[in-house]
Amino acid sequence: MAEFVERMKGIRICPVLVIEDKNDAIPLGKALLEGKLPVAEVTFRTAAAKEAIALMVKEYPDLYVGAGTVITLQQCKDAVEAGAKFIVSPSFSHEVAAFCREREIPYCPGVLTPTEISMAMSYDIPVVKFFPAGQFGGVQTIKSYAAVFQNLYFMPTGGVNLQNIGEYLSFSKVLCVGGTWLCKKEFLETKDFALITKNCLEAYELSH
């Protein structure tokens, strides 16, 4: 997890990608790199996720490619087989946590409650995804949890946007934020990769 923490601490924003067409993977990876956000969380919400990850990993060695919305152990295995460097989930899974710990793959599970946080910490996980952050108190809730779980970092996702990333990132226990606003579904439908790069650059400037 040390590499994951250091990389995300420097990048600060993790683009969350829903890729329907595997052919979008290569130009999308280029758009992220040109936008100074060299990380991709490819969600397992679509059938193209595994191939998209494999294509990005092969084409862009400098792009830190991971898998998101990983709910089942099989999805996790598929993501790792494709070359994913880290795993992100909307919830906590003992099976996924055990698999990732055994193979030394960074796992960032989704949490909402102190109990779920404690479950993650029992696997020595140093970063949890607070999701959906906007609907459950945002940075104020994170600050309350951080006062108790002092050695933990948070990656808030859900409801994060250009208007509030500054508030999130100003808190030292927020490692980075995740968001889909950088690469919305309609941007990929119209193949507007230039707009994705523009959004990434704007987010980079705000977060650095």
**Residues known to be catalytic:** 41, 129
CA pair distance 135, 148, nearest whole angstrom: 21
Nearest to 29 by CA among 100, 83, 108: 83
Nearest to 174 by CA among 154, 160, 158: 154
CA pair distance 170, 195, nearest whole angstrom: 26
Nearest to 63 by CA among 42, 87, 32: 32
